């Protein structure tokens, strides 16, 4: 394996309205990913708790950052010598939640991201239940020679989120998602994953829910937009090696970040 490379895994599964069951399923997935050499394991959005359609149980099952869910992730990270990234239903004020993503290792939480763009589209109203995250921040963590940046699901449709992460040094965009099914949604998902990789000259590591709620197709995409590992529409694990030298080579021959003439600024 090239020096500085990191093996990552995307774990595609269906979180349910049972926090204990979700933690148990995550334990099995992380063990399976680690057995295949993964140092970074990425799980979907809403991994701690999910109900469809949303209702009051979402807030009732929200947790603090130092709650049971992140505690279990920390134990799993220590057991398998890995960084685990997963979607957390985080407690907020006035009966709402924060749609958070946490990156955890054996020492604790490395980074926290809260979804900036809420899914008020295609007939959905996520903002009814969720408090949006602060715009413009970059949540990153480092493993060996690679910097990983966090974003979530619907944020994928807004290229400035990825641009903000790359400006903060990200070589890898990590995207837990619950990409709701609908007309052409599979096409949108795969196209946007490739687009964010190409325009950012970065790896993309994206974990979705399987069908029937999500579209599946969790994937690892290289800096030229090529899928190097992926899952179909059911539950499963895909593993790939991320090479920092590959990022450097692509950025040398296609220096879009250096040649860019526009700045990103939050409104």
Instruction: Pick left, alpha or beta for residue 127 (phi over 0 → left; psi -120 to 50 → alpha; otherwise beta).
Output: alpha
Mean pLDDT, residues 47-55? 96
CA distance linking residue 34 with residue 23, whole number of Å: 16
Question: What is the band of 265 on the pLDDT scale with cuts at 50, 70, 90?
Answer: confident
Helix (H, G, I), strand (E, B) or coil at 257: helix
The residue annotated as part of the active site, out of 11, 63, 153, 178, is 153
**Quick check: 232 and 219 in contact, CB under 8 A?**
no
> Cβ neighbours of residue 250 under 8 Å, at least 6 residues apart?
201, 223, 224
Question: What is the band of 142 on the pLDDT scale with cuts at 50, 70, 90?
Answer: very high
Tallying the residues shown for the chain, one arrives at 267
pLDDT of residue 202: 98
Residue 66, CA distances (Å) to 62, 74, 102 in order: 12, 10, 11
Tokens for 52? Answer: 């469809």
Active site residue 90: no
Question: What is the band of 2 on the pLDDT scale with cuts at 50, 70, 90?
Answer: confident
Mean pLDDT, residues 158-163? 96
pLDDT of residue 167: 95
The share of the chain scoring above pLDDT 90, in percent, equals: 90
pLDDT at 263 over 90: no
**Quick check: 199 and 35 in contact, CB under 8 A?**
no
Which residue, chain included where needed, has tokens 């030298």?
Answer: 245
**Quick check: 174 and 163 in contact, CB under 8 A?**
no
pLDDT of residue 262: 86
CA distance linking residue 181 with residue 41, whole number of Å: 24
Mean pLDDT, residues 11-17? 98
Question: What is the band of 107 on the pLDDT scale with cuts at 50, 70, 90?
Answer: very high
pLDDT at 97 over 90: yes
Mean pLDDT, residues 41-58? 96
Angle at 174 between CA 170 and CA 175, to 5 degrees: 140
The residue annotated as part of the active site, out of 115, 126, 160, 178, is 115
Helix (H, G, I), strand (E, B) or coil at 59: helix
Which residue, chain included where needed, has tokens 């054996």?
Answer: 106
Which residue, chain included where needed, has tokens 């609908």?
Answer: 182
pLDDT at 1 over 80: no
Question: What is the band of 189 on the pLDDT scale with cuts at 50, 70, 90?
Answer: very high
**Quick check: 239 and 7 in contact, CB under 8 A?**
yes
pTM: 0.96
pLDDT of residue 71: 98
Active site residue 241: no
Question: Residue 53, preceding bond cis, omega within 30 degrees?
Answer: yes
Bridge partners of residue 114, in order along the sequence:
100
Mean pLDDT of the chain: 95
**Phi/psi of residue 42, nearest 5 degrees:** -115, 125
**Quick check: 18 and 47 in contact, CB under 8 A?**
no
The residue annotated as part of the active site, out of 11, 45, 90, 160, is 45
Which residue, chain included where needed, has tokens 């920390």?
Answer: 74
Starting at the earlier edge strand, list the strands of the sheet with 140-143: 140-143, 146-150, 172-176, 203-207, 219-221, 227-230
Active site residue 126: no
């Amino acid at each position: 394996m090239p020096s500085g490379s990191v093996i990552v895994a995307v774990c595609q599964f269906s979180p349910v309205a049972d926090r204990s069951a979700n933690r148990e399923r995550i334990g099995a997935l992380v063990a399976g990913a680690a057995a295949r050499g993964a140092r970074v394991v990425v799980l979907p959005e809403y991994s701690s708790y999910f109900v469809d359609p949303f209702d009051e149980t979402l807030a009732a099952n929200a947790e603090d950052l130092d709650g049971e869910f992140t505690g279990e992730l920390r134990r799993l990270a220590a057991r398998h010598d890995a960084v685990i990234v997963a979607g957390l239903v985080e407690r907020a004020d006035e009966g709402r939640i924060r749609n958070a993503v946490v990156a955890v290792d054996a020492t604790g939480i490395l980074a926290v991201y809260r979804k900036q763009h809420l899914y008020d589209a295609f007939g959905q109203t996520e903002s009814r239940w969720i408090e949006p995250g602060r715009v413009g921040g970059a949540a990153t963590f480092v493993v060996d020679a690679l910097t990983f940046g966090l974003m979530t699901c619907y944020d994928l449709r807004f290229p400035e989120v990825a641009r903000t992460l790359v400006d903060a040094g990200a070589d890898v965009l990590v995207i837990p998602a619950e990409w709701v099914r609908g007309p052409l949604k599979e096409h949108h998902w795969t196209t946007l994953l490739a687009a964010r990789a190409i325009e950012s000259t970065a790896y993309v590591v994206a974990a979705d829910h399987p069908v029937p709620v999500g579209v599946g197709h969790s994937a690892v995409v290289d800096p030229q937009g090529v899928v190097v590992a992926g899952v179909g529409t059911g539950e499963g694990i895909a593993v790939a090696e991320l090479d920092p030298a590959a990022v450097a080579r692509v950025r040398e021959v296609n220096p879009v970040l250096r040649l860019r003439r526009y700045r990103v600024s939050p409104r």
